[in-house]
């Protein structure tokens, strides 16, 4: 009887330890984004700024990037599954061309050598465009390097894009939920997702950094990042 009780107590202690580790791993990691200390600019220029009343990180196109590999990568923060929440704002630079849309979003599961990542982003100038087709392209999922927006729009039109109301240059609250090969984008605190991805192209096992992503000709601001990993 004593041996059985000791075995049960040991099992309960081990279970408590495992649950404790899981709970610790799932604790939200908050980065107010008021400093550039943990940011690595990849084809971008990064600084701090007060934008529309919020302390933030400003990320702009350095002019030497491809259309996709441009972000401020966050050091010491590896992400696979969980949620990413933050506020962001994007608008075209004054020097940008006609095709600039103020592209702004989040790259996640970024490889250490920046050769591959998943990304969901907004096109703020499309949100209230007087053209329904442009409105339908307000948010976008891409997967670098093999699935840029051009390929997805040609091969699977409408599957990786959607409409959401956006105002150019204004703060927008977004949340991305990631689990396995699935991702969901929520905008403006909505209970239902704006965009659903059921086949993240790099698969369920990919893990990596998070990047404050921008497209060409963009000035963007990011604030109040909260990352909650899921064990």
Mean pLDDT (the chain) is 91
Sign of CA dihedral 175, 81, 160, 146: positive
**Using a CB cutoff of 8 Å and minimum separation of 24, what contacts does 40-49 make?**
40/72, 40/73, 40/74, 40/75, 41/72, 42/69, 42/70, 42/71, 42/72, 42/73, 42/114, 42/211, 43/69, 43/70, 43/71, 44/70, 44/71, 44/72, 44/214, 46/72, 49/221
Q: Is residue 196 part of a domain?
A: yes
* Whole-number pLDDT of residue 114: 96
* Whole-number pLDDT of residue 9: 54
At residue 16 the predicted structure's pLDDT band, cuts being 50, 70 and 90, is very low
Q: Is residue 1 part of a domain?
A: no
Can you tell me the distance from the alpha carbon of 222 to that of 87, in angstroms, rounded to the nearest whole number?
Answer: 6
Higher-pLDDT residue of 31 and 65 is 31
Q: What's the average model confidence in pLDDT over 21-35?
A: 79
* Whole-number pLDDT of residue 14: 46
Cis peptide before 145 (omega within 30 of 0): yes
At residue 21 the predicted structure's pLDDT band, cuts being 50, 70 and 90, is very low
* Whole-number pLDDT of residue 64: 72
Task: Quote the number of domains for the chain.
Answer: 1
* Whole-number pLDDT of residue 97: 84
> Closest by alpha carbon to 185, among 119, 111, 90?
119
At residue 5 the predicted structure's pLDDT band, cuts being 50, 70 and 90, is low
Q: Give the three-class secondary structure for 177.
A: strand
Residue pLDDT, tens place only, 167-221: 999 999 999 999 999 999 999 999 999 999 999 999 999 999 999 999 999 999 9
Q: Is residue 11 part of a domain?
A: no
Backbone Cα Rg of the chain: 20
Q: Is residue 193 part of a domain?
A: yes
Residue pLDDT, tens place only, 83-130: 999 999 999 998 888 889 999 999 999 999 999 999 999 999 999 999
Which residues constitute the domain of residue 85? 28-229
CATH label of the domain that carries residue 134: 2.60.120.560
Q: Is residue 165 part of a domain?
A: yes
Q: Is residue 7 part of a domain?
A: no
Q: Give the three-class secondary structure for 189.
A: coil
Higher-pLDDT residue of 101 and 9 is 101
At residue 7 the predicted structure's pLDDT band, cuts being 50, 70 and 90, is low
Q: Is residue 106 part of a domain?
A: yes
Segments of the chain assigned E as strands: 29-31, 39-42, 44-51, 54-61, 71-74, 82-92, 104-110, 117-122, 139-144, 161-162, 172-179, 182-187, 195-197, 209-214, 218-229
């Amino acid at each position: 009887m004593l041996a059985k009780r000791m075995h049960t107590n040991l099992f309960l202690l081990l279970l408590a330890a495992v649950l404790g580790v899981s709970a610790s791993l799932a604790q939200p990691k908050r980065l107010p984004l008021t400093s550039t200390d943990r940011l690595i600019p990849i084809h971008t220029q990064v600084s701090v700024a007060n934008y529309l009343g919020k302390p933030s990180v400003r990320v702009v196109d350095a002019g030497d990037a491809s259309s996709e590999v441009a972000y401020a990568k966050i050091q010491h923060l590896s992400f696979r599954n969980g949620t990413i929440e933050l506020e962001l704002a994007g608008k075209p630079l004054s020097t940008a061309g006609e095709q600039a849309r103020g592209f702004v979003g989040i790259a996640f599961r970024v490889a250490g050598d920046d050769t591959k990542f998943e990304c969901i982003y907004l096109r703020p100038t499309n949100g209230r465009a007087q053209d329904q087709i442009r409105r339908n392209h307000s948010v976008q999922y891409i997967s670098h390097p093999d699935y840029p927006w051009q390929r997805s729009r040609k091969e699977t039109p409408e599957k990786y894009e959607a409409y959401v109301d956006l105002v150019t240059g204004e703060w927008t609250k977004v949340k991305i939920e990631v689990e396995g090969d699935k991702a969901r984008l929520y905008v403006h605190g909505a209970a239902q997702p704006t965009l659903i991805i059921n086949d993240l192209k790099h698969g369920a096992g990919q893990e990596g950094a998070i990047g404050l992503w921008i497209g060409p000709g963009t000035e963007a601001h990011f604030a109040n990042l909260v990352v909650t990993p899921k064990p």
